[in-house]
Structure 1
Amino acid sequence: MRTNYLMITGSYPPNICGVGDYTQCFMSNTSNSWKLYYSNSWKLSEIFRKIKDISDYQCNNIIMQYPTQGYKWSILPQLLCIYYSLFTKKNFIVVLHEFSQRSRKAKLATCLFFIANRIIFTNEYERQYAIKKFRINPLKTDVIKIISNIENVSKIKSWDSRNIDIAYFGHLRPLKGLEDFLDTASHIYKLHKINITIIGQVLPEFKTYFENLIQQYDVPINLKLNLSSTEVSQELNNTKITFLPFPDGLSERRGSFLAAISNGSLVVSYKGIFTTPELFNIFIQTERNTAIKDIIKILEQTDAKSFEIFQHNCFQYLKYYIPQSWKEVVSLYEKSINKI
């Protein structure tokens, strides 16, 4: 039977990569018409081998998730896009999880994907940025928002039932706001003896960075590392405040944010160019120099009723602005591809 869709990724569990996790969740909800091509070796010298392996699937539609940890700095993914888009009758679709905030070098390399038959972005800001800055054809683009890679608990806890006062959740690496979290949480602890928890995954290349960073703080910090999806959702359901001080501000493309609100935690974060008007209703905005005061105020003034209202607003947002399931995400991909 002819395969209709081939998903390509450079990372896949147990590799630690958000896009890899996304791809696994996606593929777990597809029909037999979807196949997976995963490789963590992307040397330029392997181009002919890659073309042979991919072509052997005899698929009509080739979908590449980009970027992933596994590609590293290889330009081979872009060369595959050029080959299949221009020199074959197959459709090549690229899903860009990041673009506007990448380095200049990475952004220029990513531009090579604009030759693809279809480009899927994960939010409207990124789509508009690419259209305006690089004059790509809007008609060959789509936005399919991400949903959380973490499952939801069956019963959401109330404010008073949660034992973790403040938590950080996500990949533990530079440029994710971890320093701001630790600075803020440690200062609050010295005043109020709160429960501080870090929930996340550490890539091998950032293990030393994380260990050296944690050692700089002389307050008790509970580390919940490399947990299963079920365990993560339970921890988030036990967390009052999830503080996510992303340097570029909160956005819909932050899976850690979606996981937190899906499990009823109150999110505190910064605003940024990606923060949509709808998001302002479902998180508490703070700034680096006011975060200590703002979070203390939340801990002191939030009660069961106000927390329940906040949770309701978050669940309404998830219902009306985010795909409801991985099955729906798969369906949106297929509808987008069928427009080609």
Structure 2
Amino acid sequence: AKTRLIPIASNIPSCQKKEKKFDLVHFGIISKGKGIEEFIWIIKELNKKNIKFRSALIGYVPGADNSYANLIIEQCTEQKCELLLNKSAAEISNLLAETDMAILPYPDGISERRGTALAAMINRVLVFSLRGQFSSEFENIAVLGN
């Protein structure tokens, strides 16, 4: 059987670019397997080097088990990463329009099924992610690592 990727659209609208408020963000549902730990590692490393930057976790906390989300929220707070939780699609669009870069290191790589990456891109945010089986479409529009 051949594997085929079915692209999705983003539910976050495009917004006019605004004055920069955030250098780095991660955004999406706060759950395991989204690369949030890598985002927190990056901001920890920047903080260790005393690099000035503003970061934010723009996220949705799912209603079920909040223990993982609580751990992530605690780590972000320790790193002085702004928490912007459970915002509307319009609010997220505005926040992305104020952002330079999104760190979205999906463990299985970026693909057209990652609505968060698509939302960042339509709001002119530079996306840093990982290569995966379905990431060839993103080679020229995102910064991809292995």
> Does TM, normalized by the shorter one, top 0.5?
yes
Quote how far apart the aligned CAs of 1:237 are: 0.6
The alignment covers a number of residue pairs equal to 144
In structure 1, what is the equivalent of residue 30 of structure 2?
172
Q: Map residues 317-332 of structure 1 onto 2, 5 A cutoff.
A: none
Contact 1:172 1:206 survives alignment (8 Å): no
Shift of 1:211: 1.1
- Does the alignment pair 1:215 with 2:74? yes
Name the counterpart of 1:270: 130
Q: 1:173, 1:206 within 8 Å by CA — same for their partners in 2?
A: no
Q: State the match for 1:196 in structure 2.
A: 55
Code of the aligned partner of 2:53: I
AA partner of residue 128 (structure 1): K
Alignment of 1:143-158 (within 5 A): 145-153=7-15, 155-157=16-18
- Tell me by how many angstroms 1:190 deviates: 2.8
Normalised by the length of structure 1, the TM-score is: 0.40
Distance 1:240 1:144, change over 3 A: same
Aligned match of 2:2: 128
CA deviation vs aligned residue, 1:111-164 (integer Å, no higher than 9, x gap): xxxxxxxxxxxxxxxx8327xxxxxxxxxxxx75211111111x224xxx3120
1:234 is the counterpart of 2:108: no
Q: Percent identical across equivalent pairs?
A: 35
Match of 1:224 in 2: 84
Report the TM-score, using the length of structure 2 for normalisation: 0.90
| SS of structure 2 residue aligned to 1:241 | strand
Alpha-carbon separation, structure 1, partners of 2:82 and 2:75: 15
| Counterpart amino acid of residue 171 in structure 1 | I
Cα gap change, 1:206 to 1:221, in 2 (>3 Å): farther
Using the alignment, how far apart are the partners of 1:285 and 1:144 within structure 2?
A: 21
Mapped partners of 1:184, 1:214: distance in 2: 15
Q: Distance in 1 between matches of 2:55 and 2:61?
A: 18
1:283: which partner in 2? 142
Q: Distance in 1 between matches of 2:90 and 2:20?
A: 17
**CA offsets, 1:13-69, max 9 Å, x none?**
xxxxxxxxxxxxxxxxxxxxxxxxxxxxxxxxxxxxxxxxxxxxxxxxxxxxxxxxx
State the SS of the aligned residue for 1:274.
coil
Alpha carbons 2:6, 2:113 under 8 Å: kept: no
CA distance in 2, matches of 1:193, 1:211: 26
**2: CA distance between counterparts of 1:221 and 1:206?**
22
Please list every run of at least 4 consecutive aligned residues from structure 1 whose deviation after the TM superposition is greater than 4 angstroms.
Answer: none
Shift of 1:184: 1.1
Structure 2: runs of 5 or more not aligned: none
Q: How does 1:1-340 map to 2 (within 5 A)?
A: 128-129=2-3, 145-153=7-15, 155-157=16-18, 161-191=19-49, 192-216=51-75, 218-276=78-136, 278-287=137-146
Residue 260 of structure 1: CA displacement? 0.2
User: Which structure has the larger Rg over C-alpha atoms?
Assistant: 1
